[in-house]
Amino acid sequence: MTTDQGQDDVTTTKALIVDEHAAHRSALSQLLAREDLHVHQAETFESASRIVQEDHFDIVIVDLGPAQPRGRAGLLLTEEIKKRAPTTQIVIVSEDQSVGLIVEAMHKGASDYIVKSDAFANQVAALVRKLSRRQSLRRSKIVCTIGLATDSEERLAQLLDAGMDVARLNFSHGEHAWHRLVCERLRRLSDQVAIMGDIQGPKIRIGRMQEDRTVFLDPGATFVLTSRPLEGDANIVSLDYPSLPQEVKPGHDLYLNDGLVALRVEEVIDGTDIVTRVLHGGPLTSRKGINAPRVQLSATVPTDKDRRDIELAVALDLDFLAVSFVTGAADLERVRGVVHEAGGHIPLISKIERAAAIDNYKEIMDASDGIMVARGDLAVEIPTEDVPYHQKDFIEQCNQAGVPVICATQMLESMTVSPVPTRAEVNDVFNAILDGADAVMLSAESASGAYPIETVQLMSRIVTNAEASLPPQEFDIRDTAGTPYFEVIGHGISTMVRHMDSRGDHISAIVAITREGYSARMLAKYRPGVPIIAATHDPRVARQLMLSRSVKPMLLDNTLADPSTVTQMAILQALREGRVRVDDIVLTASGSSWAPQSHTNFIGLFAVRDLLDSAS
């Protein structure tokens, strides 16, 4: 991506259109400008050559024209640009459909070749949109919570362009109709973004304040929490867990709004009203959470509300389901049972946010498809100063097991109201990547903040810089005594990448042919240091791989491919889509056609140019 001079930290994609027809250039330029690209034009190959010598472009569209001499000159321009700027993506447009010309264009460095038709301009615009999103080399993933600040189709498209990999729908807020609408918009915009539902669990929340206004609780004041339905003010507010008055005792401390407000229980009246004294005051708004660290709550996962939300998640075919307030593997078994009863199969992400989850972490991780370190509630349940240690420990255990892990809560919290984060927040995101997190998550920053798009853009840049600082991985520490053979293959491929690089033969990518995503995740466990292109025929598997670090899912074009040629087809498709280049060397991992029931059992080493030669 190119940085605008005079606008620090604002990245744009620059495109050059090379076409002798002014009307064609103008029409295509207008289409690309709608995609927020900075577009330049050149009438001749000679003028284009001068322009690319003076400026850098992320994408160049070259119209070869109908005449053979002009076509030859266009291919020479393509070759010149690739030599000067290897990362530039070049799209060839031509009326010529001959296989020989297409193969030669790829040899010269073209990323794709579009045959002219009535709709070719729209085809080019759609392709350029995809290419512009591919410019980032970021490997760790970004999860964005969707809220009223980002639920429009325009805002969702901006989040995708800024770097969102997984969209989170928080079922604690919003009606089912709203969640359906957001999900429909996301699916229309992209078939690649993953969508995660997040069930509330036995989370206790206060009710609605009068006119949804903010009230301030003063230290020493009396404040009542009641199970009676009413609109709240600075003296009393309802709560959505009617059993709490029977389960608290005088002397218990309750924390509101992620611990910003602290209350001490003084008495319970009529089994409905909890009378408290304000220990630490502050602002309070509708629907904020209540934490009761020393209270034995009778509520379990899933609640009745969770069951309704799980049915919605299954109906919407969501890619992940985050489970709040998990305390043990039994909670996950019950949730998984409800998912199955609803006719679905959704990977479960366990949110670690209770003290009991720390004691049972190993069994929770083993029963989960992923982990979220939810530091907000966790920091209320345990001493705040203990959270960083547990964060690092949880992430390391997930890395060891090959389980995707998300670091969440208040990562860039100040950007809910400010265009610039604190230095400590930048360090927090940076260090989460160094710790080994597969993904980092935004909550209020992207759901209700004033600068959601800018926050995602900045988080992407922080993550990319952190990845550039990662030390070499020690693969051996990922192994265990019972390491299965397909994990040994993951270790072996990562070792091959390292040794090939040490002798000057750089591996540019690993292409993994995967049915269910397991082989790609096991490759990711060993952090090979290069992109893992996970080629699959299943769109859902492709989306679910969006949570694993270094994995770049690719939906294979041909679902009827012969198993013996699917690897070659996958590499050629990766070439067409700009994921690899003609001069690259790639490693492949797949299952052989003569042992279809086996997991990954075949490793290949290919020069992309050799595959092009054999295809022609």
Q: Checking DSSP bridges between strand 2-3 and strand 11-18, what pairing results, if any?
A: antiparallel
**How big is the CA angle at 27 (ends 25 and 30), to the nearest 5 degrees?**
105
Q: How far is CA 49 from CA 1, 42, 54, 79, in A?
A: 20, 9, 9, 11
Q: The tokens 């992207």 sit on which residue?
A: 446
Distance, in Å, from the CA atom of 254 to the CA atom of 380, rounded to the nearest integer, reads 10
- Consecutive H or E run containing 387: helix 387-401
Cis amide prior to 302 (ω within 30 degrees): yes
For residue 222, the cross-strand partners are 277
**Alpha carbon of residue 173 to chain centroid:** 21
Instruction: Count Cα neighbours of 446 within 13 Å in the Cβ-side half-sphere.
Output: 33
Across 79-181, where does the E strand assignment appear?
89-94, 112-115, 141-145, 166-170
Beta carbons of 381 and 291 less than 8 angstroms apart: yes
Q: What is the dihedral of CA 168, 169, 171, 177, to 10 degrees?
A: -170
Written as six digits, the tokens of 364 are 């929770």
CA distances to 37, 74, 194, 311, 518 from 336, rounded to whole Å, are 44, 57, 19, 12, 19
Closest to 245 in 3D by CA, of 232, 223, 227, 233: 227
Q: Quote the CA–CA distance of 433 and 465 in Å, as a whole number.
A: 10
CB neighbours of residue 383 within 10 Å: 8
The residues that are catalytic are 168, 205, 351, 409
Residue 315's alpha-carbon distances to 190, 226, 334, 402, 584, in angstroms, are: 19, 35, 19, 29, 42
